[in-house]
Structure 1
Amino acid sequence: IPLNIACVFSPPAEGNRDVAQLQEDLPQELEDNKVEPNRKKAALKEIIDDYNSRYGTNHDLANFDSYYQDVQQRIKDQKYPNSDLPREKKIDITIVVDMLLTGFDSQYLNTLYVDKNLKYHGLIQAFSRTNRVLNDSKPYGNILDFRAQKAAVDEAIALFSGEAHERAKEVWLVDPAPKVIEKLEEATQKLKEFMAAHGLEARPEEVANLKGDEARAGFIEHFKEVRRLTTQLGQYTDLDEAQKAKIEQLIPSDDLRAFSAQYLETAKRLQQESKKREEDPNDPIQQLDFEFVLFDSALIDYDYIMKLIARFSGQPPRKQKMTREQLMGLLASSARLMDEREDLEAYIATLKEGEGLSEEAIRKGYEQFKAERRAAELARIAEKHDLPVEALRGFVEHILARYIFDPDALTELFRPKGLGWKARARAELALMEDLIPLLRRKAEGREISGLEVYEDA
């Protein structure tokens, strides 16, 4: 995938007060700009022109601050999924000299590539740009140092650790990979022992045979730790072949994916069960933290799946690298596509291997397939509750036009039936119980205000 790369450093001040003030905190850039300033200006102008061409902006050297602010915003825009903001609008890598190394915060920065000598306060400040914890999928940042500055790192950590300098590395630095692999070995062993205690082998297909919500909750807790550690190990860039082989031995990739699918299915079931119960602080199900973010791969998004489906459709069976079953398994193992999973699986089941559809045809076909499924589901609900399909469709469209539930519109929907208020209230509750899942799917992640009244009923 082509990377979007930006570059930012301050231009020679040349009497510009704003730039001069900015450079008070940029010692290296201040010194650099004393040597061949015109060459520096020409290079920065070329960089900004390239940026304007890429992003459709109109920045220039005279208004450097607007360019600087725009770069920062596009880095922070990584928080938006590609479905909301295309990756072409964001920045993947930013090349800097002094800028952004202090004071700039974005939880989505995960790697700092260091090719300059740093020390003490400057080193800690620069390294800290990557250490804004996002969630369990990014528990820490990565530093790739091309200057072999281990001694400088040790000195800086000791200096800023005060009385805790003896334990400084434990506090500041993550466990080395061998230590995390040991923890993974313990976690996989505990998962095996848990499954054995329930008379089952530690295989993904056996999870469905766990009896009772308490046992299912136990699986959630045990496998969540396995997934957390594999996610952490996935961020190490220096794993050797022996370490990779050890991880694969402890939890093979296919098993990890299949267990993840079972986890998501089990978690979804327990989550639905929990909503039906009265609040109880001692209920183990209600106390579960499912941590779906651990199963949210940025790689396995809608665009990625569309490309895989197109590839599946376009290749004859003997040349396919991914079977229909493997594609289904990939879908099942990602939390990002939980809401789309049923539709995608049903759509994939209709496709013929080697049919040769383009990605554009796949996308259009899926949207049409999804619309037809929604229409059929709406018709079934209308028939079940003895309501005109057009009236129910109008009610749904009215809600989705503003993403606000309108109780008066619901009352109007049932008015032609001439029901008493008790009978109408029961009929409304029954309808909403069937309609809410459809509304949630059609809303595609957007919140519908007021709907929680019926979800809690």
Structure 2
Amino acid sequence: MRSLKLLAQSTASTIAAEFTPKQKVDSSYQSEAQLEKELIATLQAQGYGYAPISDEKSLESNLRTKLEELNSTTLSDTEWRRFFAQVLSRANASIVEKSVLIQEDYIQPLERDNGSIINFKLIDKADIHKNSLQVINQYEATTPTRSHRYDVTILVNGLPLVHIELKRRGVSLKEAFNQINRYGRESFFSGNALFEFVQIFVISNGTQSKYYSNTTRDFHIKTQNGIKTTKTSNSFEFTSYFSDEKNTIINDLIDFAKSFFARHTLLNILCHYCVLDVDRKLLVLRPYQIAACEKILQQIAISYHNKFYEKSSEQKSGGYIWHTTGSGKTLTSFKTAQLVSKIQEIAKVLFVVDRKDLDYQTMREYDRFQKGAATGSKSTKELQSRLNSTDKSHKIIITTIQKLSRFIAQAEKDHTIFNEHIVMIFDECHRSQFGQMQKDISKAFKKLYLFGFTGTPIFAANALGFETTQRVFGACLHRYTIIHAIRDHNVLPFRVSYHTTAKLKSQPIQDEQVPAIDTEEILLAKERISHITRYILEHFTTQTKRSSTYTINGKHTKGFNAIFATQSIPMAMRYYEEFKRQQASLPESQRLKVGIIYSYAPNDEQEEESSEDTTALPKSQRDFLDAAINDYNAIFACRFDSSADNFQNYYKDFSLKLKNRELDLAIVVNMFLTGFDATTLNTLYVDKSLRYHGLLQAYSRTNRILNSIKSFGNIIAFRDLQRNTDDALALFSDENAKGIVFLRSLEEYLHGYTDEKGDKHKGYHELLHTLQTRFPLANFLESTLKQSDKRDFLALFGEILKLRNILEVFDDFSDPLSERDRQDYQSYYIDTYESLRAKDQAEKHSVLDEVEFEVELLKQVEVSIEYILELIATYHRHKDKGSYERILKLLDSSLSLRSKKELLLRFIQSLNPQSNVEKDFSTYIAARKDESLDTIITELDLKPKETRAFMQDSFERGELRDYGRAFGEILPPSPLFGKGAEQTHKVREKALEKLQAFFELFKGLELRQER
């Protein structure tokens, strides 16, 4: 028998089966230098060579030597200089382009002196152990303004591909992340810019260790200028722990070094478990994702050699992966399919979904990871064509279980494909895939390897007469439950509140819990529907944090959005009508954009709903849906209706607008409660019976990580779901998981609590008392504070901001800190940080290395330019001193507007009795923009037309991009290589600095009339 070749897999598993922590024998103080020394010794013991490299010249010399060794050749000096200049140190090459070189274009043509061309490898991915690993430390990067010394760097074939930033024990891990960001802004690009090749960053304070990709850092700092930050979802929240197969976190630095930096592990991750998506973001798989991929690869090998696929009586040729909802299942399945497709003996890899909308969604997701990596099948005929094709580009096929079942029914029994080795991966293997169609598929394909992915398996307890997941797919190969995901900060915890919506025998229901009322008449009562609708409208702004500002897809966005899950179509219809009625009396600026979507389901208890069938709806429900779609068309300038083909387009558009935060509230029955991912969604309103996997799936729509403002998924239940919630949690994680999965009570956050580890957490009241006692506003003068006091103030007020972010969504929370005092403290908070940051520019070490600055949380209390203009208009009309003082206070306490303070105050001074504030403001800003940009163009000799177009595009996008062709085209002509290249780089950096400052100054002002 031939040996099955599992490409891209080494003999050792990348993730350890079980990691045993090292015994801690020394608890004495350990400096950062001692930590660094111990780490290097550990790496040397694992086969890393130590290289005494601390400057640019020796780094390049070592790189040449190692690449020559890898390629078994010797280059002449001219050959090396030519290759180095053209490929490795291009002045305008971005981090993205360098990532492409490592991940995709790692074999480059090299021209020899005699004119011949050879293939020259930067890294060997076919045989990972041919790559050289070295460790260096205290590398010095020098720029015209200052020098940096980097802690520890891993060289792969001489290229710095992994950088490690260390902090001493007790220092916040986030400060190591911030330190790397500072290097990115100030020095990674220096000299030959080889440090922009870094693919993975590791941060550790000895006690905790995490890793993340270069684009997590890169996309973070691209939208950041000093403290004027607009974070994206590529920030500290997207750093990852490393763990073993049992999901035990490997935190200690030396333990981390022995596992993550084991030679085969690190090289496997760099070579095989990174995905450079179509947006050119580098995604590095998390340990549980890698473990799942390898478990499936191993199971295929075992089944192939033992012919388990012939034993149809018991499912041994496959298995299922239990990874909780929101943990990156699609990326895991994509990487698995990609690796399996490289196995020569496997004819096809089919990714099977159970709904047409998921077919479309999965194709979009797979295309996001790699364009064209998988092919879809719009019809059964097209599926047949894909299965018949020998084209390797058709090896991964995405299809629905319905199309696959029809193909089997129509195909000849001896069709070639039925005797080929086929791997099928079922997405979210719910009970809808456990019926006759699935049995027909298993019977038809004679050499089938069947795998399922699910966040909520079907066990005997929740099978309700159906098959269990294990009986259909085989054993659980790997599991990563919701308790693991929340612990690792890969998904958010939940806050669940239960609200009284009815009375029994005139007595109010106690404990804010609603008893199980099954009477349809009571549930659909006009008074109840009206009460719940009013509650949602009154609390929506707080619960979805509409006062907070963040960026998604390059656009400034306020707050999050919500789904309202209702029991039945009639109930959904009544709620929709009631929202329209109650919102009619509200000012347009306060109205929510409410949409409704439903389709036919045989009964309202069905947990999954087809998005295809509207024709079977009763006429009254179909007519209502058409009327609601017309409302939607009017809001978004669309032309949809409920006809079969058009409804599919409505569904896709509805889904997209919900994901992009263009729709505030979606009223649904069963749709979007499974398989729908939207990071902007933070709240689920529930007037519906939910249980077991359906409950956890629905709750999990809200807990995708986006930024530090979104710190939990918010569940507002108008039914008594507490028992069902406890049962679901016990089934899918642990009976004792409440402390991790759910937020604590209002009282605990106000007065303090002790967590499961025994750690004590101060309450909001105690923190405020400390603030007002130690830093009273009456004598708070930032300039008189000692440096240690400044650090303590930043840390204390940061803790208050984080706790207040949680407390705000509690209906009963009343902040004892007045709005005026909060603004004053916030102004001092920003001033203190800015003064320390300025000091940090001149010194190597700053107290800022030990303090987190909660930029994103400050954004929650931002004021709009519209409101400032209203105050300016009031002051202009009445010369009201109070209005002027309020303007100054708001500008000082606003992150986005304080940089515009001088600009706005000059506008006030320019006003005369005949001025129209709103009209004159637009004219004033346009004139100042033109003047400022003309000055920059003249000073730096930029191309005028290209620069103006570039900046206009940046304002429209909401982001200034210094990568790609557009930025390079605004610069004056200059040499890319030789002595002039350094000057080119300086011009580039100066232009970026000036244009970024210009962008930040006028950002948010030029769109004034469009808002």
TM, length-normalised to structure 1: 0.69
Query: Deviation of residue 294 (structure 1)?
Result: 0.6
Contact 1:274 1:286 in 2 (8 A): no
Distance 1:186 1:151, change over 3 A: same
Contact 2:711 2:806 in 1 (8 A): yes
Identity of aligned residues (%): 27
Distance 1:148 1:342, change over 3 A: farther
Once the two structures are superposed, the pairs formed by residues 3-402 of structure 1 within 5 Å of their partners are: 3-11=592-600, 26=608, 37-61=618-642, 62-63=644-645, 64-78=647-661, 90-162=662-734, 165-166=735-736, 168-182=737-751, 183-192=763-772, 195=775, 201-203=776-778, 205-212=780-787, 214-236=788-810, 238-239=811-812, 243-244=813-814, 247-248=815-816, 251-278=817-844, 283-297=846-860, 300-313=863-876, 315-317=877-879, 323-351=883-911, 357=916, 359-372=918-931, 378=935, 390=938, 392=940, 394=942, 398-399=946-947, 401-402=949-950
The structure having more radius of gyration, on CA atoms, is 2
Report the Cα distance in structure 2 between the residues aligned to 1:275 and 1:356, rounded to whole angstroms: 43
Contact 2:777 2:825 in 1 (8 A): no
- SS across alignment from 2:709: coil
Query: Which residue matches 2:995?
Result: 439
Report the Cα distance in structure 2 between the residues aligned to 1:207 and 1:410, rounded to whole angstroms: 47
- SS across alignment from 2:825: helix
Q: Partner amino acid for 1:191?
A: L
- SS across alignment from 1:10: coil
Distance 1:66 1:274, change over 3 A: farther
Distance 1:31 1:70, change over 3 A: closer
Query: Which residue matches 2:543?
Result: none
- SS across alignment from 2:674: coil
Contact 2:941 2:972 in 1 (8 A): no
Query: Deviation of residue 176 (structure 1)?
Result: 1.4
Contact 2:612 2:648 in 1 (8 A): no
Query: Deviation of residue 97 (structure 1)?
Result: 0.8
Report the Cα distance in structure 2 between the residues aligned to 1:40 and 1:125, rounded to whole angstroms: 26
Query: Deviation of residue 364 (structure 1)?
Result: 3.1
Contact 1:26 1:99 in 2 (8 A): yes
Q: Partner amino acid for 1:440?
A: Q
Distance 1:323 1:434, change over 3 A: farther
Q: Unpaired segments of 5 or more residues in structure 2?
A: 1-588, 752-762, 951-961, 1004-1011
Query: Deviation of residue 317 (structure 1)?
Result: 4.5
Report the Cα distance in structure 2 between the residues aligned to 1:204 and 1:127, rounded to whole angstroms: 47
Once the two structures are superposed, the pairs formed by residues 419-430 of structure 1 within 5 Å of their partners are: none
- Give the number of aligned pairs: 382
Report the Cα distance in structure 2 between the residues aligned to 1:439 and 1:204, rounded to whole angstroms: 39
Question: How far does the alpha carbon of each residue in 1:139-171 deviate from its partner, in whole angstroms, 9 at most, with x for none?
Answer: 112222222433333333333332xx23x3322
Q: Partner amino acid for 1:178?
A: E
Report the Cα distance in structure 2 between the residues aligned to 1:45 and 1:215, rounded to whole angstroms: 63
Could you say what the CA RMSD is over the residues aligned between the two structures, in angstroms? 4.2
Query: Deviation of residue 122 (structure 1)?
Result: 1.6
Contact 1:310 1:362 in 2 (8 A): no
Contact 2:596 2:667 in 1 (8 A): yes
Q: Partner amino acid for 1:184?
A: Y
Distance 1:363 1:401, change over 3 A: closer
Query: Deviation of residue 29 (structure 1)?
Result: 9.6
Q: Partner amino acid for 2:878?
A: P
**Structure 1 or 2: larger helix share?**
1
Query: Deviation of residue 267 (structure 1)?
Result: 2.3
Deviates most, 94-103 or 186-195: 186-195
Distance 1:208 1:129, change over 3 A: farther
- SS across alignment from 2:800: helix
- SS across alignment from 1:3: coil
Question: How far does the alpha carbon of each residue in 1:80-135 deviate from its partner, in whole angstroms, 9 at most, with x for none?
Answer: xxxxxxxxxx1111111111111212222122221222222222221222222332
Distance 1:210 1:405, change over 3 A: farther
**Structure 1 or 2: larger strand share?**
2
Q: Partner amino acid for 2:745?
A: P
Query: Deviation of residue 432 (structure 1)?
Result: 8.8
Question: How far does the alpha carbon of each residue in 1:174-203 deviate from its partner, in whole angstroms, 9 at most, with x for none?
Answer: 1211221221122224435654xxxxx455
Distance 1:99 1:432, change over 3 A: closer
Contact 2:943 2:972 in 1 (8 A): yes
Query: Deviation of residue 444 (structure 1)?
Result: 4.0
Question: How far does the alpha carbon of each residue in 1:248-306 deviate from its partner, in whole angstroms, 9 at most, with x for none?
Answer: 2xx3221111111222233234334435545x6xx542354323101113762344444
TM, length-normalised to structure 2: 0.34
Q: Unpaired segments of 5 or more residues in structure 1?
A: 14-22, 79-89, 196-200, 382-388, 413-420, 448-457
Contact 2:607 2:694 in 1 (8 A): no
Query: Which residue matches 1:451?
Result: none
Distance 1:350 1:225, change over 3 A: farther
Contact 1:374 1:438 in 2 (8 A): no
Contact 2:632 2:638 in 1 (8 A): yes
Distance 1:28 1:284, change over 3 A: same
Contact 1:191 1:202 in 2 (8 A): no
Question: How far does the alpha carbon of each residue in 1:196-235 deviate from its partner, in whole angstroms, 9 at most, with x for none?
Answer: xxxxx455842342234x4433322121111111222122
Q: Partner amino acid for 2:781?
A: E
Distance 1:29 1:399, change over 3 A: closer
Contact 1:399 1:405 in 2 (8 A): no
Distance 1:346 1:361, change over 3 A: closer
Question: How far does the alpha carbon of each residue in 1:403-443 deviate from its partner, in whole angstroms, 9 at most, with x for none?
Answer: 6257972869xxxxxxxx99xx99x97x9998765422333
